[in-house]
Amino acid sequence: MADEEAARHLGGPQDPSTAWRAMATMCGSWSLQGFGMYSVIEKSSGAWVGRVGPWRPHDWPGTEVGWGVIRSRWGLGYAFEAAVACIDHAVLHLGWTDIIHLIAPDNHRSQALARRLGAENHGPAALPGPLRVHPVEIWRQSANQWAERRPVM
């Protein structure tokens, strides 16, 4: 979260104490809701390279599968592979009937990934509370649409 470019569409760069609190929030989601983001670990190096998973904080605009991968691993397919597995999990095990991805209007890489996953842009959405200052668009598909057009791995 300290990398300015990688964190640009995730609320901006964070100092270590702010990043720690965000990490604790992710961990707390598991205790409170029984789901949350997964860590993405690169098999070849054992390095942590990002987070992907189901996410639904209080007052969130919907049931989201989100992602964030460190810049040095962009374009390697980690977010795509993990997002497919997480959407499968959200639909099959969490019972979600609607999957969203909240993406900044100028985040073209994530928009391309959402398109590849079968989602369509449904326009602007509002984040809750202090996050409201960050413009996002809601990319969406139903569980039925996912079943019909799930990408082949």
Query: E-strand spans in the chain?
Result: 38-41, 48-55, 64-69, 98-103, 120-125, 136-142
Burial category of 127 from C-beta neighbours within 10 Å (exposed 0-12, middle 13-18, buried 19 and up)? middle
Task: Examine the pLDDT at 75 and tell me if it is beyond 80.
Answer: yes
pLDDT (tens digit per residue) in 96-146: 999 999 999 999 999 999 999 999 999 999 998 887 888 999 999 999 999
Burial category of 81 from C-beta neighbours within 10 Å (exposed 0-12, middle 13-18, buried 19 and up)? middle
Residue 126 belongs to domain spanning: 4-149
Task: Examine the pLDDT at 19 and tell me if it is beyond 90.
Answer: no
- Per the structure, the count of domains in the chain is 1
pLDDT (tens digit per residue) in 76-110: 999 999 999 999 999 999 999 999 999 999 999 99
Q: Hey, what long-range contacts does 77-82 have (CB within 8 A, 24 or more apart)?
A: 78/40, 78/42, 78/49, 78/50, 78/52, 79/40, 79/50, 79/52, 79/113, 80/113, 80/116, 80/117, 80/151, 81/153, 82/38, 82/40, 82/50, 82/52, 82/53
Residue 25: which CATH number?
3.40.630.30
